Amino acid sequence: MAATTVPLQRTWRRPGKPVLVAGVLLAWVLIWLPTRGLHTLGLSPADLTPLHHWLNDVNDTVGANRNSSPIFLYFFNEIRAAVDSLVTLLQDLIAQPSYGRPVPVLGWLGVVAVVAYLSWVFAGWKPALLAAAGFVFFGLQGLWEESMDTLALTLGAVLISLLIGIPLGIWAGLSDRFHRLVTPALDFMQTMPTFVYLAPLTLFFLIGPASATIATLIYAVPPAIRLTAHGIRSVPRSAVEATESLGATGRQKLTGVLLPLAKRTIILGVNQTIMAALSMVTIAALIDAPGLGKTVVKALQTLDVGTAFNAGLAIVVMAVVLDRVTTAAGNRVRTTGRVQRFRKPLLVVFGVVAAVCAYLSHTYFWAAEFPDDFAIGSTLSKGADSVALWAQEDLSTTTEAIKNAITYALLNPLEALLVESPWWLVGAVAVLLAALLGNLRAVIVTAVCVAVLIGTGLWQDSMTTLAMTIVATAMVMILGVVVGVWMGRNRLADRVIRPVLDAGQTMPAFVYLVPFLALFSATRFTAIVAAVVFAAPVAIKIVADGVRGIPATTAEAATAAGSSTWQMITKVQLPMARPSLTLAANQGLIYVLSMVVVGGLVGAGALGYDVVAGFSQGQLYGKGLAAGAAIVVLGIMLDRIARASSPSKGSNQP
């Protein structure tokens, strides 16, 4: 449809392309009819291939040599000790009884004061108030200690992420070669399900905060590297050339021009790293990471929706506070020019107040332990419970109907086509599509991906997962366009919806699994809905941003020419926001894939189940690892085909 409405863009190089694509798809269905059920490479949940056995053996060998190999004694153990002491230090400081005291070094009053003070210094009044309110809220929820444990772990992971990520990001920003080398590795780190490497991590780094921090780190460091590199690469050439002409050394160029100009993007990277770290809280709880994640996981065991919600809400609040503070700090970097007259004395005065609060919380019990007289945690969880119950009882008939409609009309036919086609047919279609939409590179990547999928021994499961991924990504894009355009056109809508989107992105999936299961049963559709809740916010935000980024003059010209609202959206705003739409689809897809494992917990089966099973059962470990790899490969394949078909080829990778 886009091809006919947007003649200006060089979307299709040959006019016949949509026809060709349709032809390929039609041919697929026609060949599928007589061949369905042949060569589908099925593998039942308990069966293993030689590759899976071999991966098991590797895992066993590592475990058996844990205590004798020098690599462990002098390398992994050292890393572990360093990470462990950092996290323990942070915990002693704010979360756990330490140094022979019954309470941490800083009590609640001190933490609130210090956080508010730092937020004020770096971000301003509003974020400081928000931070103070948010932190007091943790105490009111009755989750002070858990929240501080989570904060300590998050800070530890973020600090190390930045220590590693910013230098690597600078390197990737300066060297094209390193950038090409590191990008696929970062893709891999972000799409490989965490469940796959949790067990090996505890083998390498033992059980405890160190392993949890490193697991978090693996997921959280890529944004820091990517955005630092992006920031350095976006520095205008003219600025760099100017310094070069003045004879600056490489070091001077970096510290004098590149880093200052890239500062805002780097801070955005810090922000994204914090968000990623927080989203790992519940997963890390499975290897004994302390904090809010434990509360969520324990509540899930007894299907206690209210308690899980209470803890999940604390995670959301922490994410929102940290997001707003770092974003405001990032924006402030640009406007450091106007220093207020009162700032210096205020810095001192508030510094003294914060120090006094810290001292008090170090010395007196009332300032150290949050008083539980005002606890609202149980009220909150009771409220959440009754809402969940109401939804389950009164809505589930409707939701069952929606589930059935989408499953029978969309998901089942698509899955039948993908799963029951012979592997060579699906492979041929994928390669043909890559050839039609993209270039030789896309063809090669697709062919390799198909081969790897077959190699994992999980072809059929991959196809089942692929069908779900396509449906979920389509739903994400529909939501992204509808809500994103609305938010982009309407400031008020943006202000109201944005916190909801933040909650969708940071509320741990474990919290809403139980209500969703009641609404949609243990089905593939539940997995799709969970994925949409997580992935739609990012798509919506990107689309809204794109729509808002359209120059005002263009919109005014269209209005002057007498466009209706509908024409305005379809003829001007959407076509002009096209790069944003592509980016939204790409990010939406990655987010959907990162939820495949959660889908495995709610009845989606396929790759998600394989990964969870591999985490739970020793003899399925290798299969779980292969399934994790299959998820990564699916992501690469879909991304390459989709990106090859977009007008701005890959230039919008953040």
Partner 1 sequence: MKLLRLTATATLTALALTACGGEKIGDTPAAGASSGAAACGTFNLAVNPWVGYEANAAVIAYVAEKNLGCKVTKKDLKEEIAWQGFGTGEVDAIVENWGHDDLKKKYIDEQKTAVAAGETGNKGVIGWYVAPWMAAQYPDITDWNNLNKYAAQFKTSESGDKGQLLDGDPSFVTNDEALVKNLKLNYKVVYAGSEAALITAFRQSEAKKTPLIGYFYEPQWFLSELKLVKINLPKYETGCDADAAKVACDYPEYVLDKIVSKKFADAGGPAYQLVKKFTWTNDDQNLVAKYISEDKLSADDAAKKWVEANPDKVKAWLAQ
DSSP 41: -
523-545 burial: b if 16+ Cβ within 10 Å, else e: bbbbbbbbbbbbbbbbbbbbbbb
The least distance separating partner 1 from the CB of residue 348, rounded to whole angstroms, comes to 10
- Distance CA(257)–CA(259), nearest Å, equals 6
The least distance separating partner 1 from the CB of residue 70, rounded to whole angstroms, comes to 17
Of 224, 225, 220, give the one whose Cα is nearest residue 178.
Answer: 225
Shorter beta-carbon distance to partner 1: residue 171 or 359: 359
Shorter beta-carbon distance to partner 1: residue 147 or 202: 202
- Distance CA(442)–CA(644), nearest Å, equals 7
The answer to whether 125 and 387 have CB atoms below 8 angstroms apart is no
The least distance separating partner 1 from the CB of residue 60, rounded to whole angstroms, comes to 7
Residue 182 half-sphere exposure, CB side, CA atoms within 13 Å? 24
Shorter beta-carbon distance to partner 1: residue 524 or 643: 524
The least distance separating partner 1 from the CB of residue 503, rounded to whole angstroms, comes to 21
The least distance separating partner 1 from the CB of residue 510, rounded to whole angstroms, comes to 8
| The two structure tokens encoding residue 173 | 């920003």
DSSP 391: I
Helix axis angle, 377-390 relative to 509-520, nearest 10°?
A: 30
DSSP 289: -
Shorter beta-carbon distance to partner 1: residue 74 or 566: 74
| The two structure tokens encoding residue 33 | 């009819």
The answer to whether 621 and 55 have CB atoms below 8 angstroms apart is yes
The least distance separating partner 1 from the CB of residue 409, rounded to whole angstroms, comes to 11
Shorter beta-carbon distance to partner 1: residue 37 or 650: 37
Shorter beta-carbon distance to partner 1: residue 392 or 652: 392
Report which residue type is found at 169.
Answer: G
| The two structure tokens encoding residue 578 | 């096209």
The answer to whether 608 and 614 have CB atoms below 8 angstroms apart is no
What does the CA dihedral 282, 286, 292, 297 come to, rounded to 10 degrees?
A: 80
The least distance separating partner 1 from the CB of residue 18, rounded to whole angstroms, comes to 32
Shorter beta-carbon distance to partner 1: residue 13 or 341: 341
- Distance CA(221)–CA(270), nearest Å, equals 9
The least distance separating partner 1 from the CB of residue 231, rounded to whole angstroms, comes to 37
Shorter beta-carbon distance to partner 1: residue 362 or 578: 362
The least distance separating partner 1 from the CB of residue 371, rounded to whole angstroms, comes to 11
Of 432, 435, 481, 426, give the one whose Cα is nearest residue 644.
Answer: 435
The least distance separating partner 1 from the CB of residue 404, rounded to whole angstroms, comes to 5
- The total of other beta-carbon atoms located within 10 Å of residue 47's CB is 10
Give ∠ CA 37-42-46 in degrees, rounded to 5: 150
